[in-house]
Amino acid sequence: MEFLTTIISRTGEELLISLIIKILNEFVDVIRLFLIFPEGLIYFLKVVAYIWLNVKKILKLGLQTMLNTLKYIVSNITISNKYHFILSTFCKVLKFRRNRMLPLEGVTVIALEQAIAVPFATRQLADMGARVIKVERPGAGDFARNYDTTVKGMSSHFVWCNRSKESIELDLKSEQGKEALSRLLEKADVLVQNLAPGALERMGFDPQELTQKNQELIVCSLSGYGNNGPYEEKKAYDLLVQCEAGLVSVTGSEETPSKAGISIADIAAGMYAYTGILTALLNRTKTGEGTIIEVSMLEALGEWMGYPAYYAAYGGTEPKRTGASHSTIYPYGPFKCGDNKTVFIGLQNEREWKDFCERVLKNPELAEDAKFENNSQRSANRTELKALIEDSFKDLSSDDVIERVEDAKIANARLNNMKNFFDHPQLSARNRWQEVQTPEGAINALIPPVTMKGVESVMKPVPALGEHTDDILDEIGMRKVNK
């Protein structure tokens, strides 16, 4: 900690000189490794030379720890895998541990975002320590701020997707707004946007030109249907993409096709934007160069439609809409109990079917019935089988049924509503809720689902519109013009 304090408190060349001296002092024990890996000495000399020759460039990044400096160097010097062993050993000798830093700490993301897809992606980046600067329209901001007023007067969509970000108001139609964006992009690692098709280019920010000016920049553009083809200019909202991808055709009852209850096309595209950016950042450590990424909502959701698409294309028939039941596996779905509550049960193989008949239904002979002897037969005769199962459950409460299926080790679930989920005992037992501040006070937020040893996700406030405008403009040497 003393070394970290020293590094953070010093600036300019004094920091760099101190840093190099510290490296030389601390690497005495590592010299022995050079006897085993002589190439490591060559790499070490490259590191020192790179620092010395690129003082201004390194200082411009405002690096605050030695590990950040090393990460930057790795992104600019092509090294083989075995040199990474040397690098990790250096970190250990300096008493650094990767798990003491957030995985994306030091990464700056400029987000020209609205609605759900890109805000969802950039929130994942912010969760892992990236600095996300959300560019919003003056006065109005991201229109998702006004989707509803259910969370202490704020939009449920917005608070879900926008914690841990900084908000700056920029009029990107004005010269000052464009200049501010240009300055932000000079030192950014990632630009991600989901503006209307061609809007970024019309403002003078062509991705090809941006990556030529800043060769380390990663530009990610998310759209409904991609940047060419007959649907390029077509408006794309979540429900409409669900329709185009065929999701609605396989969801709902036989009588009524239905959309998914969440913005699944947005979420799918957002997750591919997130993983695409992570991949590009990783690749940049090898090549030293950024790239241009394109994500289409149709193609993202289409990837998730693999099973029904193959089923229809090669099977010759469309999957049936079967409500809350699985369309091709049975029993796999909802069953009413004697207390009028519903329990969901899922069987995956013949062993489970036999156990289900013997231990849950108390009817072992049913397992031998030719109408139900395999999954294809059970699925074809599901109406009759459902009636038999619910007849067995009519004198049992939902708790009784759950007890039986648990005892038989059959997969099951209760039909929870959203309040039940918010109060779920498993989430409570694992301490998965954490308070997050908003402009209207604290709210509970679900901690990100990926847990890593030694890494605590960022759970910073949801920003007010333009909350960080003055600070960010000051950082890039500009002032806000009041009209």
Look-up of token digits 């895998």: 81
pLDDT in tens, 243-265: 999 999 999 998 999 999 999 99
Q: What confidence tens digit (pLDDT) does each residue in 179-221 have?
A: 999 999 999 999 999 999 999 999 999 999 999 999 999 999 9
pTM of the model: 0.76
**pLDDT at position 59 over 90:** no
470 is catalytic: no
User: What pLDDT is stored for residue 328 in this prediction?
Assistant: 86
pLDDT of residue 480: 72
Superfamily of domain 332-415: formyl-coa transferase, domain 3 (3.30.1540.10)
pLDDT value at 290 more than 80: yes
Three-state DSSP string of the chain: CHHHHHHHHCCHHHHHHHHHHHHHHHCCCCHHHHHHCHHHHHHHHHHHHHHHHCHHHHHHCCCCCHHHHHHHHHCCCCCCHHHHHHHHHHHHHCCCCHHHCCCCCCCEEEEECCCCHHHHHHHHHHHCCCEEEEEECCCCCCHHHHCCCCECCECHHHHHHCCCEEEEECCCCCHHHHHHHHHHHHCCCEEEECCCCCHHHHCCCCHHHHHHHCCCCEEEEEECCCCCCCCCCCCCCHHHHHHHCCCHHHCECCCCECCCCCCHHHHHHHHHHHHHHHHHHHHHHHHCCCCEEEEEHHHHHHHHCHHHHHHHHHHCCCCCCCCCCCCCCCCEEEEECCCCCEEEEECCCHHHHHHHHHHHCCCHHHHHCHHHCCHHHHHHCHHHHHHHHHHHHCCCCHHHHHHHHHHCCCEEEECCCHHHHHCCHHHHHCCCEEEECCCCCCEEEECCCCCECCECCCCCCCCCCCCCHHHHHHHCCCCCCCC
pLDDT tens across 106-157, in order? 999 999 999 999 999 999 999 999 999 999 999 999 999 999 999 999 999 9
Contact 168, 473 (CB under 8 A): yes
From the candidates 127, 189, 238, 266, which is the catalytic residue? 266
Q: Rounded to whole angstroms, how far apart are CA atoms 65 and 56?
A: 16
Instruction: Calculate mean pLDDT across residues 17-42.
Output: 54
The pLDDT > 90 percentage for the chain reads 73
Note the pLDDT of residue 308: 93
Q: For 292-330, how does the pLDDT look when each residue is reduced to its tens digit (9 = 90+)? A: 999 999 999 999 999 999 999 999 999 888 888 888 899
Same fold for the pair 108-303+445-475 and 332-415:
no
Q: What is the mean pLDDT of residues 10-18?
A: 50
* Domain ranges (residues) in the chain: 2-100, 108-303+445-475, 332-415
What pLDDT, on the 0 to 100 scale, is given for residue 327? 85
In one-letter notation, the amino acid at residue 96 is F
What pLDDT score was predicted for residue 40?
56
The domain defined by 108-303+445-475 folds into Rossmann fold (3.40.50)
Token look-up 């796999």 returns 332
